[in-house]
Amino acid sequence: MAKPFEPKITAFVCNWCTYAGADLTGTSRIKYQPNIRIIRLPCTGRIDFMLLQKAFARGADGIIVSGCHPNDCHYSSGNYHARRRWMVFNDLMEFMGVDGRRVTFSWVSAAEGTKWAALVNEVTDAVRQLGPYTEYQRLIGAGVA
Amino acid sequence: MATTLKISAASLAALFAVLGDAGRRILGPAEVDGRIELKAVRTLAEVAGDQIQPVLSAKETAFPRVERLLSYRMAPGKVELQDYDPEVQPTVLFGLRPCEAAGFNSLDAVFNWDTRDKFFNARREQLTVVGLSCTQADDACFCTSVGGGPGSTKGSDILLTPLPEGGYLAEILTERGEALKDLAPALFQPANGEDKEAMLAKVEPSFEHQGLAAKLPGLFTSDIWAEQSLRCIGCGACAFVCPTCVCFDIQEEADTKQGQRLRCWDSCGLRQFTLHASGHNPRSAQSERWRQRIYHKFGYFAERFGGPMCVGCGKCSRACPVDMNLKEHLTQVYEV
Amino acid sequence: MSRIGVFVCHCGENIGSTVDCQEVAARCKQMPGVVHSEDYKYMCSDPGQSMIKQAIEEQGLDGVVVAACSPRMHEPTFRRAVSEAGLNPYLCEMANLREHCSWVHEETDSTTDKATDLVHLQVEKVKRNKPLQPIQVPITKTALVIGGGVAGIQAALDIADSDRKVILLERSPSLGGHMAQLSETFPTLDCSQCILTPKMVEAARHPNITLMTYSELEHLEGFIGNFKATIRKRARKIDEKLCTGCGLCLQKCPTRKISDGFNEGLGMRRAIYVPFPQAVPNTPVIDIQNCSHFRKKKCDRCVKACPTDAIRFEQQDEWITVDVGAIVLATGFKIMRSDQFPEYGYGAYPDIIDGLQFERLASASGPTQGVIKRPSDGKEPETIVFLACAGSRDAAKGVKYCSKICCMYTAKHAMLYKHKAPHGKAYVFYMDIRAAGKNYDEFVRRAIEEDGVKYIRGRVSRIYEEDGKLIVKGADTLLGGRPVEIKADMVVLATAVQPNDGQIDLARKIHVGCDEYGFFAEAHPKLRPVETNTAGIYLAGACQSPRDIPETVAQAGGAAAKVVALFSRDRLTREPLVAEVNRRPSPIYSDCVGCFLCETACPYQAIGQETVTDRDGKLYKTMAKINPGLCQGCGTCVATCRTKAIDLHGYSNEQIYAEIMSL
Amino acid sequence: MEALRTKAKELLAQGEVQVVIGYEAGTAGVRRPCFVRTAESAIRLVWDTNCIGNLAGYLTRPEIKRFGKPAIVANNAVLRSLLQLVAERQLQQDAVLALAVAQDGVVTELPTAQAVEDYLAISPGGLSAADREKMEHLAQLSREERWTFWQRELERCIKCYACRSSCPMCYCGHCTMDCNRPQWVSVPSHALGNLEYHTVRAMHLAGRCVQCGECGRACPVGIPIHLLTCYAEESVHRQFGQQAGTRAKLDYALGAFRPDDKESFIR
């Protein structure tokens, strides 16, 4: 029997809030599903939209992008710049027909270990429900003779 | 071996069905959303009639824009290589203009020059070119200046030429053409001295290509290249639509454990084409890249293979965003 | 080919119980570039660290991945260990198998699979790590203290006494802050001015302190050790050098009826004024909003009165730029005003006052010379109701926190009143009595037991006026919620302590964070309480959260100690995880095209410009240049840069790309 | 047209500019760029409704810069590009003399970026009605239909980079597409490479695109790629208010922020 589908979730998080928040989830021993792989960056300001694009190209079924709440950025405004970038990127993805349900943006602070666990579980469940992102994954290798 | 036959429109339509039954894929110029593209067709009716030619050339059928050459997998201490053999369906290229058909001669020359290119030939060997003579031409056309013509048989396995009374003159030019004809010999009739020229488009020669080639060595430092290329924006459209341009780039798409090697079209018009890793670029100005394009096509290639690497199809001129009309430019050079 | 070593830690049972560490180590051996992989019970222990060092030496490793706890925990430990073995510390990365894996997942194959992936990610990253050298920056050994209340004064004095220069900045015309307004201080009831004014004078006279009052920080750029502060010195319209502080001008000024801010609106001052008699400096200020000279273009009585010709109507604000190496924020607090309370009449009743107003009424130097009088009619009240927690711990008011000082000063207020009017009645409504501090609870007990202040546990639902009395309606929750009604002559609200006006703007100007209420955020609530997240900027006093005087003074000393410790070195060493604009051989020089779109995206103004000239000195190219001293390594510019000319050390494009590709 | 030729002739004769960038008659009625360097050859210049190409890309090309100070025959797209190039420090304030030609052929000399700004304030250009209609039509489709639409379009892309080469804002010497360490965007013109390329291009033009549509016109295979960059620009305009090519002072929406920027998708 084929193995049931398990989504591949890639997360891009900032070091100071969400990474620390995920640490707190661990310290608090709150359980969540193991599908997620976290890539640590200093700040959401560092998260180039090309990272997201590349994650899909590697077959991610879902992506989480998370950092400090507005006003809490360790670098004072990196997250505000990131927010604008996402506002445009999100809009453009929608226009190009990329499935917006596959990307979740969120703010998780260093104190929100519980929120992190809930977020990961919600996203994992939602993406499992959606199934593999075949629409995008079909592109991999397509157009090569 | 060339034999000249005739085929009626109805028989030609019937030939499509025969080809389909024989497992041949047929590619022909057809309309898609108002554009003429070379695409898979099943019937003659699908083939677009009143048109000069598609934007892209048919070279893609033998030299695709992106093709896999090999793949590999890495394990500790070793690399497993896997060769790739393209699987190609026998294909009939129907309705290629004589210029485009002639383009295959250039491609054949390059890909079999010092080494036989496995990938190109695997695809090329499956192609049968059924040319269709031109009954119209536009301001970009200059086949007659580069040794071709609206009814030229170069590169075609069969050349069809429309006749005033309907039907086509069918010149069976090669063994491949013969083999195609033999799938349904009854559809062809013997020719009866029809005038091939009757419906052919008139394309006045603008220059003479041997003369042009002879001029080039003396013009290397001429200002003409800078002057002509001023408006050139340095994209690769001309090379990519060209039926004879063969330059390619090798790309490696890999992750940490495996990868594949791809061959992709490239163009001497692009700045990065000659950019060295050091940052030095031997052809740093657009004028040098433009000159290279002309020298390669009409000088170096001609020296090596005896004729220009250009069929005068005018695709580059039509595709150019800034109207770099090649006929016009070559005429200028010729007249210097 | 890289030579990477992987070290998988069991962390006792912490990782080992849900992740098959041995299996992870075995799988890592299969990863391209990994030449050494082993697991151990406690990698951070001495033997664990020795294993790493030994492997580096024996195997000639050029990169190390320690798969253990969070890098936020032990990254410094392992980087040190690696450098002790002769490898650049930045060639070591950690895979977070504990907080991000073993502690959050059950023991299943997929947990071990995830652990392997997490290590793989770091293996691919570390292959692309570059050896980095710490950045050395010089230090300007002058401190800027913003705020001239007790916190700022104390911090300035402590720094100055360590023989370092200090610029003490105060936005009002005088030092002193809120403490100067207080009457007596708990729990000892010593006179606030008596203990504060000597410090004010000392600060003003200290040879190492440059006092700048009536001045504000306008702009800050730079970074730890190297700030450049632009200060706006507002025009007093007085030549400070000539003024002797004789006060003759004050007496002649005809504009008298201006509400006096120092007395919390309970008194009047003139258009030329000194906030209070003991002000430091004792130089007056002309209030141009109210001065007749400026309003009506006439009146020059002060000019005529001045014996030293010190009045300067034409004087303009000045902008002064100073170089400083460290900054102490001591900007204090404000209190919520009584007009914020609909249930207490929105400030309509003049005899409902706030705590600071009561301080002025009780102060011997206040508008009533220390006699408690009602603002409405000047009568001495016979019954006063004090309400603690007015606004504090009240989510509806946006103040969820405890203002901390109210329990104590309310007890003090009630006590002071009882001392002044022994036959008067004092009631205190409270939620809880929070009197944790040395001699604090004893103080409250004294108010209740010795001075007869009546404490009622409960909240006041409404206050309204009836027959010249304030009817206070509340409930006594200790008696089962029994309704209580008191006819009072005066009500004192212990209103919530809030961040000062303009604090968020200041935070933005100097790039420090604020909490949800607008108080400055400390770098760590427990371990770095006097530092901000911006290196070189420290905190003192109530600008961080509500504090009483002893705490404020202690924290000011702490902040001063941090500054002095910083100034004890000649150069500063910083983590080299900064962004850099790439260089290429000529004729390209850099991939930067000089569009400078990154410039405004940088939160630290770290991006400047650099010009490239050819051999003949002709301008060839203008491109961005990042000041490694200013850059804090957020990487916002990297994401903004279209040509990818900017990269971030430690989180480079190649590193992140490789991480994604490993998944 | 005569006014333009006269003006060009005069400017060149007096040495006020060394080159006039304009349009000349090309193959079969096409109007193509030309570079007039002598008063006598000003006769080559033409101006009519077919002069729709955006010539501003030439302002940053070394081959053209070499001639000296340029005047440029300017439609609105050229003017907006010029302002954006000044804002992005690719041109000096007064490095270019813009010759704005009105419908009736009247030529207005705009010697500085400020003059261009003032001129544009009166007659701003923008997205064409046809493009807006196409964009709105796409917006009304379902998400899946839009995906299919773009996949079908992008399938034809051969990565000739005519779009990039024709764009006046694509002046970067080293484009993201050319980055190979790491290779953020797949080079081959396969499905993934094409999607990545056009997404990156649109994102890089968000807040910078002057909506001239030149990329769409340049595309030899007829992909309406300008809709992508125009959409990204519209998105910036709608959400943050800035509009590329309207001010000579840099006001890059993605290099700025407001603490209260409103979005509805971040959890």
A142 touches B at CB < 8 Å: no
CB contact under 8 A, A45 and C105: no
Mutation site for C-interface testing, chosen from A46, A49, A61 by largest number of C Cβ within 10 Å: A46
Q: pTM for the full model? A: 0.81
The token pair at C289 is 């909003």
- Output the pLDDT for position C70: 95
Q: What is the mean pLDDT of residues B304-316?
A: 96
Among the partner residues D188, D254, D265, nearest to A88 by beta-carbon distance: D254
In our burial notation (b when 16+ CB lie closer than 10 A, e otherwise), range D115-149 reads bbbebbeeeebbbeeebeebbeebeeeebeebbeb
pLDDT digits 0-9 by tens, A10-51: 999 999 999 999 999 999 999 999 999 999 999 999 999 999
Q: What is the mean pLDDT of residues B95-106?
A: 97
B137 touches D at CB < 8 Å: no
Among the partner residues A31, A60, A78, nearest to C105 by beta-carbon distance: A31
Say what the ipTM of the complex is.
Answer: 0.95
A71: pLDDT confidence band, cut at 50, 70 and 90? confident
Q: Give partners of A (≥3 CB pairs < 8 A).
A: B, C, D
Check pLDDT > 60 for residue C208.
yes
CB contact under 8 A, C585 and B76: no
Rounded to the nearest 5°, which phi and psi values hold at A95?
Answer: -65, -35
Among the partner residues B74, B256, B284, nearest to C662 by beta-carbon distance: B256
Among the partner residues D30, D63, D217, nearest to B285 by beta-carbon distance: D63
B278 touches C at CB < 8 Å: yes
pLDDT digits 0-9 by tens, C180-196: 999 999 999 999 999 99
- Output the pLDDT for position B1: 56
Asked if residue D266 belongs to a domain, the reply is no
Mean pLDDT over the full length of chain C: 94
Orientation of helix C653-662 relative to helix C109-127, angle to 10°? 150
Cα–Cα dist C219/C230, whole Å: 5
In our burial notation (b when 16+ CB lie closer than 10 A, e otherwise), range B275-309 reads beeeeebebebbbbbbbbbbbbbbbebbeeeebbb
Asked if residue A7 belongs to a domain, the reply is no
C305: pLDDT confidence band, cut at 50, 70 and 90? very high
- Chain A positions touching C117 (Cβ under 8 A) are 37
- Output the pLDDT for position B103: 97
Q: What is the mean pLDDT of residues C311-329?
A: 96
Tell me the domain boundaries of chain B.
3-335
Which residue of chain A comes nearest to B60, CA vs CA? Answer: A145
Which residue of chain C comes nearest to A52, CA vs CA? Answer: C660
- Output the pLDDT for position C287: 95
The token pair at C108 is 């299943």
* C597 Cβ neighbours under 8 A, 6+ residues apart: C640, C641, C642, D88, D250, D252, D254, D255
Cα–Cα dist C465/C300, whole Å: 45
Check pLDDT > 60 for residue D61.
yes
Q: What is the mean pLDDT of residues D116-133?
A: 87
Which residue of chain B comes nearest to A140, CA vs CA? Answer: B253
CB contact under 8 A, C596 and D173: no
A1: pLDDT confidence band, cut at 50, 70 and 90? low
Tell me the residue type at C217.
Answer: L
Q: Percent of chain C having pLDDT more than 90?
A: 86
DSSP symbols for C145-167: EE--SHHHHHHHHHHHHTT-EEE
D124: pLDDT confidence band, cut at 50, 70 and 90? low
Give the residues across from C428 on adjacent strands.
C386, C455
Q: Percent of chain C having pLDDT more than 70?
A: 100
Mean pLDDT over the full length of chain D: 95
Q: Tell me, rounded to whole angstroms, the distance of Cα C500 from its chain centroid.
A: 11
pLDDT digits 0-9 by tens, C98-156: 999 999 999 999 999 999 999 999 999 999 999 999 988 899 999 999 999 999 999 99
**Nearest chain D Cα distance for residue A1, angstroms:** 31
Asked if residue D77 belongs to a domain, the reply is yes
Quick one: which of D159, D161, D164, D139 has its CA closest to D149?
Answer: D139
Q: How many domains would you assign to chain D? A: 2
pLDDT digits 0-9 by tens, B74-88: 887 789 999 999 999
CB contact under 8 A, B264 and D26: no
- Chain D positions touching A89 (Cβ under 8 A) are 203
Do D105 and D75 fall within a single domain? yes
Which residue of chain B comes nearest to D30, CA vs CA? Answer: B323
Check pLDDT > 80 for residue D123.
no
> Positive or negative, the Cα torsion across C361, C367, C370, C376?
negative
- DSSP-derived letter for residue C263 is T
Check pLDDT > 80 for residue C511.
no
- Chain B positions touching C34 (Cβ under 8 A) are 76
Quick one: which of A102, A106, A103 has its CA closest to A130?
Answer: A102
Interface of D with B (CB under 8 A): 26-28, 30, 32-35, 53, 57-58, 61-64, 158-162, 164-166, 178, 186-190, 193, 214, 217-218, 220-222
* Selected residues 254-293 of chain B with any CB under 8 Å from a CB in chain D: 262, 264-265, 267, 270, 272, 285-287
Among the partner residues B74, B278, B280, nearest to C32 by beta-carbon distance: B74
Do D109 and D144 fall within a single domain? no
**Nearest chain A Cα distance for residue C597, angstroms:** 12
Q: How many domains would you assign to chain A? A: 1
B32: pLDDT confidence band, cut at 50, 70 and 90? very high
Whether B216 contacts B334, CB under 8 Å: no
Which residue of chain D comes nearest to A140, CA vs CA? Answer: D192
Q: Give partners of D (≥3 CB pairs < 8 A).
A: A, B, C
- Output the pLDDT for position A2: 75
Do D97 and D147 fall within a single domain? no
CB-defined contacts A:B, below 8 A: 12
Mean pLDDT over the full length of chain B: 95
Whether D125 contacts D85, CB under 8 Å: no
B172: helix, strand or coil: strand
Cβ-in-10-Å burial (0-12, 13-18, 19+) of D258 comes to exposed
pLDDT digits 0-9 by tens, D162-204: 999 999 999 998 999 988 889 999 999 999 999 999 999 999 9
Whether C307 contacts C516, CB under 8 Å: no
Cα–Cα dist C481/D117, whole Å: 71
A60: containing domain: 26-132
Interface of C with D (CB under 8 A): 588, 591, 593-601, 622, 640, 642-645, 653-654, 657-658
Cα–Cα dist C406/C307, whole Å: 46
Quick one: which of D33, D17, D14, D36 has its CA closest to D25?
Answer: D33
B251 touches D at CB < 8 Å: yes
CB contact under 8 A, D267 and A84: no
Do D161 and D242 fall within a single domain? yes
Tell me the residue type at A90.
Answer: N
B327: pLDDT confidence band, cut at 50, 70 and 90? very high
- Chain D positions touching C654 (Cβ under 8 A) are 181-182
- Output the pLDDT for position B13: 96
CB contact under 8 A, C31 and B256: yes
CB contact under 8 A, B321 and D165: yes
Q: What is the mean pLDDT of residues B323-333?
A: 97
D158: containing domain: 129-255
CB contact under 8 A, C593 and D90: yes
- DSSP-derived letter for residue B200 is P
Q: What is the mean pLDDT of residues A116-134?
A: 97
Q: Which domains does chain C have, with CATH numbers?
A: 4-127 (3.40.50), 142-231+319-332+502-567 (3.50.50.60), 248-305 (no CATH), 334-498 (3.50.50.60), 579-662 (3.30.70.20)
B66 touches A at CB < 8 Å: yes
Higher pLDDT, D116 or B1: D116
- Output the pLDDT for position C656: 97
Do D59 and D32 fall within a single domain? yes
> Positive or negative, the Cα torsion across C31, C32, C38, C42?
negative
Please calculate the CA angle D35-D36-D37 and round it to the nearest 5 degrees: 115
pLDDT digits 0-9 by tens, C237-264: 999 999 999 999 999 999 999 999 999 9
Asked if residue D21 belongs to a domain, the reply is yes
- Output the pLDDT for position C64: 98
Whether B232 contacts B285, CB under 8 Å: no
Do D176 and D246 fall within a single domain? yes
Rg (CA), chain A: 15
Give the residues across from B94 on adjacent strands.
B130
pLDDT digits 0-9 by tens, C549-585: 999 999 999 999 999 999 999 998 888 999 999 998 8
The token pair at D217 is 């016109």
Asked if residue D265 belongs to a domain, the reply is no
D111: pLDDT confidence band, cut at 50, 70 and 90? very high
- Output the pLDDT for position C533: 76
A145 touches B at CB < 8 Å: yes
CB contact under 8 A, C660 and A58: yes
- Chain A positions touching B259 (Cβ under 8 A) are none
D196 touches A at CB < 8 Å: yes
Among the partner residues D172, D176, D182, nearest to C654 by beta-carbon distance: D182
Look up tokens 């484009």; give the residue.
D175
Among the partner residues D173, D179, D254, nearest to C593 by beta-carbon distance: D173
B49: pLDDT confidence band, cut at 50, 70 and 90? confident
Check pLDDT > 90 for residue C57.
yes
CB contact under 8 A, D143 and A99: yes
- DSSP-derived letter for residue B157 is S
pLDDT digits 0-9 by tens, D21-60: 999 999 999 999 999 999 999 999 999 999 999 999 999 9
CB contact under 8 A, A37 and C117: yes
Cα–Cα dist B287/D65, whole Å: 14
- Output the pLDDT for position A124: 98
Calculate the CA dihedral of residues A69, A70, A72, A75 and round it to 10 degrees: 110
B226: pLDDT confidence band, cut at 50, 70 and 90? very high
